[in-house]
Structure 1
Amino acid sequence: MIFRSRPRGDEGLAAAAGRDPGENDLDTASGPPPGDNAGTSGATTDFAESTQPEVGGPDDGAIDLDELDAGEWRELGPYDIGEVDAEALEEPDPDQPRIDLGSIVLAGTDGMELRLQVDENSQQIVSAMMIRADSALEVGAFAAPRSGGLWAEVRDELVQAAESAGGSANLVPGPYGVELRRVLPVQTPDGQQGYQPTRMWVAEGPRWMLRGIIYGQAALEDGIETPVAEILEAFRQIVVRRGDEAMAPGDLLPLSLPEDLAPQPGTAQDAAGAAAAETDTGV
């Protein structure tokens, strides 16, 4: 597994989110949340299509949103830190290495690459993307009300934002209830106009909401067969560490570099150097 950290300033974050710097990370009235890269070039444009794919999904059409929202979808994960053996997470496991990013703990698999997006001004990690073959999963965790229901509040705004940006969106049944399918216009690395299809899964836990955005081939497939299965398994194995601090609903839970990758004070590899570093863990 390869860890890659890439600098990204406030201006780039705002452009990707379709909003001004400093707005709430899930304030979607003016555009999609950070990590979507709508209308920008970046790592996710590697998965862009030259022509606009159709947005669809299983049982495309009218669905019972309330029934899907009422379902229990986390039996197989992702998990809250209180639902697992926290001490076991810290023990090395050669068969399933763990990557502790503070608010989320990821499970590594053979052949999977992890890219960490870093704000070059604050040196804070703003997103984590797990890439396997021609598919990718970008994850982020957010503070949520104790009563839950944050996903139901924001998804209609995400649909409207996609349509306002010249794309399309649809709500379909997915492995976590209501799944959001979108196709957004982007600029490809060679400067051409392209379209980026995505699937969005959202799991809600105790005072947190975990969002997963799927890119590439897995975003084009219906159902959860391969290659979606590998992406789904990676999402299910995530552990969320919400913490006890008071946070407004929609605030991004902070991410941090693992201790063995974080730069040491007084060394030549300062925070800016760490943002551009690549480390091969041998997995």
Structure 2
Amino acid sequence: MIFRRRRKDDEIPADEAEDTTGSADSAEDLPEDDETASAAGDDEAAAELDVEALDSRDWRGAGPWDLTEVDLDVEPLPGRARIDLGSMIITGFGGAELRLQVAEETQQIVSAMLIKGDSALELGAYAAPRSGGLWPELREEIVEAATEAGGSAALVEGPFGVELRRLLPVTTPDGEQGYQPSRMWVVEGPRWLLRGILYGQAALEEGLEPPVADLLTAFREVVVRRGDEAKSPGDLLPLVIPADVEPDPESAEDA
């Protein structure tokens, strides 16, 4: 387990366009013409998307799960192991690495990232209204923020209804300018919202084939522990380090 420090508020950021999670060398250097063509295609796809119909459906038939819906006494499949992080219980799989994202200001764990090869899935759980409807509100802010930052965002149909795809401008460790692609999955459960963001090669794929498949399964297997505390919509559900897990200090220092 590796700690990586990143500046991040304790609620779902409205300025998602500034999120540069993941390795900087995963940014895609796109010529201006390619970027313009991509944005035009995204606008056309969004115009054909029946957003209201997708938002009205329940996409949790195969997970993610609420704590009340799962019997944790039943062991996961061979080769997989549950990791209890408090508000989220994640099931790891062979070849995957877990990293916890820590806010510099508060030293609070704000998200967990599963990494396999050159792909990653960042997971975060947040409070949501009992009536739902938080995701449509948030994605409008995210799309606007991405555009203002010089990137682009598009809504497409994904495995959980409306999927948000972005290209955000980033600076690589070598000082070069590029664009980082991402795919965002969001599911709302009983008074909670679970967000998963794909980075790296998985963010470049159109469908759900590998390397997306393993990360999709991991997202479906997340169990959210909302708790009974009163929280405002969008507040982060706190994450904790499992008592039986020791972080790697050398990796933490490097990160």
TM-score in same-fold range (> 0.5): yes
Corresponding residue for residue 86 of structure 2: 102
SS in 1 for 2:138: helix
Q: Does structure 1 retain, via aligned residues, the 8 Å contact 2:87–2:238?
A: yes
5+ unaligned residues in a row in structure 2: which ranges? none
Give me the whole-angstrom Cα distance separating, in 2, the residues matched to 1:86 and 1:277.
34
Pick from 5, 8, 14 the counterpart of residue 7 of structure 1. 5
Q: Name the SS of the counterpart of 1:255 in structure 2.
A: coil
State TM-score, norm by structure 2. Answer: 0.88
CA distance in 1, matches of 2:140, 2:29: 27
Taking only aligned residues, the RMSD between alpha carbons, in angstroms, comes to: 2.5
Task: Quote the offset at 1:25 in angstroms.
Answer: 1.7
Q: What's the offset of the Cα at 1:127?
A: 1.4
CA 182–246 in structure 1, closer or farther in 2 if over 3 Å, else same? same
Aligned residue for 1:80? 66
Residue of structure 2 aligned with 1:69, choices 33, 38, 55: 55
Out of 182, 200, 206, the residue aligned to residue 166 of structure 2 is 182
Q: 1:198 aligns with which of 170, 182, 191?
A: 182
What's 1:49 paired with?
28
What is the distance in 2 between the residues matched to 1:242 and 1:277? 32
* 2:134 aligned partner: 150
How many residues are treated as equivalent by the alignment?
246
Q: Which amino acid in 2 is paired with 1:160? A: E
Counterparts in 2 of 1:157 and 1:122: CA distance versus 1, 3 Å: closer
SS, match of residue 276 in structure 1: helix
The AA in structure 2 aligned to 1:276 is: A
Shift of 1:101: 0.6
The amino acid across from 1:60 in the alignment is A
Given candidates 93, 118, 127, the residue that maps to 1:134 is: 118
**Cα deviation, residue 119, structure 1:** 2.7
> How far does residue 107 in structure 1 lie from its aligned partner after superposition?
0.6
CA contact (8 A) 2:17 2:149 kept: no
C-alpha distance 121-159 of structure 1, shift in aligned 2 (>3 A): closer
Identity between Structure 1 and Structure 2 (%): 58
The equivalent of 2:16 in structure 1 is 32
Q: C-alpha deviations, 1:139-187, integer Å up to 9, x for none?
A: 1000000000100111111101000000001111111100101000011
Distance 1:61 1:67 in 2: 13
**Residue 43 and residue 221 in structure 1: after superposition, are their counterparts in 2 closer, same or farther (change >3 A)?**
closer
- Aligned pairs for 1:256-271 (under 5 A) are 256-261=240-245
Q: Which residue of 1 aligns with 2:45?
A: 60
Q: 1:214 to 1:92 in 2, by over 3 A?
A: closer
Structure 1 letter corresponding to 2:252? A
Q: Alignment partner of 2:89: what SS? A: strand
Amino acid at match of 1:172: V
Partner Cα separation in structure 2 for residue 162 and residue 33 of structure 1? 4
Q: Structure 1-normalised TM-score?
A: 0.79
2:24 partner letter: T
Following TM superposition, by how much is the alpha carbon of 1:277 offset from its aligned partner in structure 2, in angstroms? 7.0
Deviations 1:69-90 (A, max 9, x none): 01121111111101001344xx
* Structure 1 residues 275 and 132, CA gap change in structure 2 (3 angstroms): closer
Report the alpha carbon displacement of residue 96 of structure 1 after superposing the two structures with TM.
Answer: 1.5
Q: SS in structure 1 opposite 2:240?
A: coil
Over 3 Å counting, the alpha-carbon distance change for 1:123 and 1:210 in structure 2 is same
